[in-house]
Chains A and B, each alone.
Chain A
Amino acid sequence: MTADRRADRAALLVAPAAAVMVLLFIYPFLHGLVLSFRPAAGGALASYATFFTNRSLWPTIFTTLRLALPATIANVAFALPVAYHMRRRSRYQKVVITILVIPMTLGTVLIAEGMLTYLGPKGWLSQTLQLLHLASGPVRLTHNYTGVLLSLIVSGFPFVFLLMLSYVSGIDPVLGQAAATLGATPWRQFRYIYLPLLLPGLAMAFCLAFVQAFSVFPSAVLLGAPAGPTRVISIAAYEAAFEQFDDSLASCVAMIMGAVQLIVVSAVLGLRRALYRGPVTGGKR
């Protein structure tokens, strides 16, 4: 009895943090959900009707997906092999990790500013390409779709790489060595030992990277063409809240954003379940 009470009291340590999250996260979220059904004028669904009929609002879903999905796929596809090759502890492991992680410190705004200078029509890259006769005129890589995509890759890669690295190095190397003893080639070791065990981590990294890419905001404004090809959904939410002061519409856009995000995350997690049914922490320790 006393042991039970003691256990319960220790479990109470979770209460303050949980209360803070309810107050700061759950309550505003529910408030936003209710608010999205209470437009200033019209019926309960008026804000949603506005969103799905306005040509400057609903296409932002696909504009954002068109940026976030390729950026996330590229980052995961690049980070996985690099992290896999870095899995063994070596003298240069830490140096390479540090160098690859540095873009994390730049922040979206510095990346945007740097790209405007370096990749702009008069930047070093454009000048070099013209000097080498690889391009006839100034190369335009900023203020368009490409600029935003590149900035998402630069800012997103270090994060995906760190996550993948910690997942890869969490797999017991003995498993790969056992497979090698039985004659498995490096490719077969990766394909049949590491990849199945990595799938949960791969799915997690994809989801977390997608969250970051999907809420792209500063680079879409500074580096893209926020009126057209890179008018992402965050811009729509921001404008509704702080330029039109339509709280209901802003909350509605935020809710739709969350819904799209959840659809993608559950699709990825569902795909993982379809591919692999073993334990999530398999092969560790």
Chain B
Amino acid sequence: MRRAFRALLAGLATFFVVNVLFLVGAVAVSSVATRWLGTWLPDGATTRWYRDAWHEFQLGSVLTVTAEVVLAVVALSIVLGVPAAYALARRDFRGKRLVLLVFLLPLMVPPITYGVPLATVMYKVGLAGTLGGVILANLIPALPFVILVMTPFIEQIDPNLEAAARVFGADTRRVLLHVVIPQLGPGVLAASLLVLVRTIAMFELTFLTAGPDSQTLVVALYYAVFAAGVRAPQSIDAMAMVYMAVTLVWLLIALTFVDPTQLVSRVRR
């Protein structure tokens, strides 16, 4: 009985992985195909679609925009989020529950729900379609995410170290600078990498607020597929492969630094 259940689970997981592999494989094969119409494999192989994608989709500038947006979102969410997480982890203050709700709500509401009103506000103040607008929009889910990851991380840092520093007469600024911040390294690294991966993949908010010059890779890819027929499908597939390579590299880097089993809670081993 138990063995049968295990086999069923393993079978289902394998089925899932195999199909995902074929799904990626189909895109990969198509991206190097000369002509592929209803046969098992294409007629021949070529790399010209990658060159085409580079020129046609202005992949170079799209990648630059993506890097700018992602770096800005990571930097801003860490600079704003880590101090907030510190306050939430170490202090009790009036209105703490309300503040927590404000940070939790953006993660519990679909991005389109606040993205549409946000876009109308941004069009009014002239931020829509700019790089700044895209960065601010992506900050909405990123900042609460950093706070959510960092708060339990800070909670497990021994507060006695801070207390000892205070006994020796350090003020808050010096405690932060010399005691707290040096210990935050691993947590900040984990949070940055997770925000980075999430921001590269964030479609809805960028889609709603981006203009022609401020599209990130996902949004450019969506427009390419949406306008299919205008462009060769292989060229779109080449672009999709570039997208996958970018996120895959960062996810693998993230997984070497972040233990996914320790994200929500920590257990002594």
Q: List chain A positions with a Cβ less than 8 A from chain B.
A: 6-14, 16-18, 20-22, 24-29, 31-33, 35, 78, 81-82, 85, 87, 89, 93-94, 96-115, 117-119, 122-125, 127, 154, 157, 162-163, 165-167, 169-172, 186-187, 201, 207-208, 211-212, 214-215, 217-218, 221-222, 234, 237-238, 241, 247, 250-251, 253-255, 257-258, 261-262, 265, 281, 284-285
Contact = CB atoms under 8 A, between A and B. Distances in A.
B87 interface: yes
Contact of B27 (A13, A114, A163): A114
B117 interface: yes
Contacts of A214: 110
B109 interface: yes
B27 A113 contact: yes
B192 to A, nearest CB: 16
A93 B259 CA distance: 11
Interface string B169-202: 0001000000000000000000000000100010
B168 interface: no
Contacts of A89: 261, 269
Interface of B: 2, 5-6, 9, 12-13, 16-17, 19-20, 22-27, 30, 37-38, 40, 80-81, 83-84, 86-88, 90-91, 93, 99, 102-103, 105-121, 136-137, 139-140, 143-144, 147, 172, 197, 201, 203-204, 207-208, 218, 221-222, 225-226, 233, 236-237, 240, 243-244, 247-248, 251-252, 255, 260-269
A110 B111 contact: no
B116 A250 contact: yes
Contact of B6 (A85, A165, A222, A253): A85
A118 B147 CA distance: 40
B144 A21 contact: yes
A101 to B, nearest CB: 7
A113 B110 contact: no
A217 B40 CA distance: 31
B267 A169 contact: yes
B114 A14 contact: no
Give the interface SS of chain B, mostly helix, strand, loop or mixed: helix
A265 B120 contact: no
Given A24-B139, A31-B117, A165-B261, A110 B244 contact: yes
B260 A110 contact: no
A11 B48 CA distance: 57
A110 B221 contact: yes
B255 A217 contact: no
A25 B113 CA distance: 10
A113 B237 contact: yes
A252 B40 CA distance: 48
Given A24-B118, A32-B117, A35-B117, A107 B84 contact: no
Contact of A162 (B87, B222, B237, B263): B263
B87 to A, nearest CB: 4
B140 A25 contact: yes
Contacts of B118: 24-25, 28
12 contacts: A9-B172, A11-B93, A14-B83, A14-B93, A16-B83, A17-B103, A93-B261, A99-B17, A109-B240, A124-B40, A207-B108, A284-B265
A107 B114 contact: no
A257 B244 contact: no
A237 B207 CA distance: 13
A157 B228 CA distance: 28
Given A124-B40, A154-B23, A211-B107, A109 B221 contact: yes
A124 B233 CA distance: 17
Contacts of B255: 94, 97-98, 101
A11 B87 contact: yes
A166 B113 contact: no
A99 B16 CA distance: 11
A13 B261 CA distance: 29
B267 A24 contact: no
Contacts of A281: 265
A21 B140 contact: yes
A10 B20 contact: no
